[in-house]
Amino acid sequence: MAMFEDADKFNRGAITYEALKNQLEKHGGLLENLSISIDRWLVPLPQEDTKKKRKKKPLPHQLTAPYIKNNYVYLSFLTLFTVINVGLFVSRAIQYRHSNGFVIMARACGQCLNFNCAFILVLMLRQCITFLRTRGFTAFLPLDQHIYLHKLTGVLVAIFSLVHTIMHLFNFSKYSYVLRTPSLPAPARSNLPDILTQEK
């Protein structure tokens, strides 16, 4: 800016080619640096080896230390949410471990559905969220991400519902086959009413 003002002696807001040339001649090092910069613009940078590029591939943004430091409340809550879902799934699978695989999967997904269908409503209680936010609970709960968590829970509800329904259909087809096959041994047929009427 100082060079421009020095070249524009009549304060016209513009300089001529001659005035620019005089300024560049006054400051010899500037012209040299300017020509080096132009050379760098015109000459492409040397390409790194593709193997080196693969090795230098950075971590995803969500796995960097600054991201974790800035979002520890959200990440802790997401971890707790995942642990609860896994715990419910595993506990129900253990409870029905003597049943066939279709029943185990259906019951485990059903248990997760019970939790997630209730939790999805909690995430949209706006007045409660506002109350908690005004009381400083954002230090412990990710209240600002409640809409994202609501969407995430909705996706989980859809997945668990789909798997739950498909597993019950497979289980039904298996036992309808048992009913239609008179040649099966008596023990397999005698346990059928108990299995079909088992409590959830």
Buried b / exposed e along 14-26 (16+ C-beta atoms within 10 A): ebeeebeeebeee
Cα of first residue to Cα of last residue in the chain, in angstroms, is: 79
- Taking the C-alpha atoms of residue 81 and residue 138, their distance in angstroms, rounded to an integer, is 17
CB burial of residue 100 (10 Å; 0-12, 13-18, 19+):
middle
> Which amino acid belongs to residue 8?
D
Q: CA geometry: angle at 169 spanning 167 and 175, to 5°?
A: 105
Tell me the pLDDT tens digit for each residue of 23-77: 777 776 666 666 655 556 566 666 665 566 566 667 788 778 888 888 999 999 9
Residue with tokens 């798997």: 163
* Length reported for the chain: 200
Tell me the pLDDT tens digit for each residue of 102-150: 999 999 999 999 999 999 999 999 999 999 999 989 889 999 899 999 9
- Taking the C-alpha atoms of residue 98 and residue 93, their distance in angstroms, rounded to an integer, is 9
Tell me the pLDDT tens digit for each residue of 69-88: 889 999 999 999 999 999 99
CB–CB of 178/189 below 8 Å?
yes
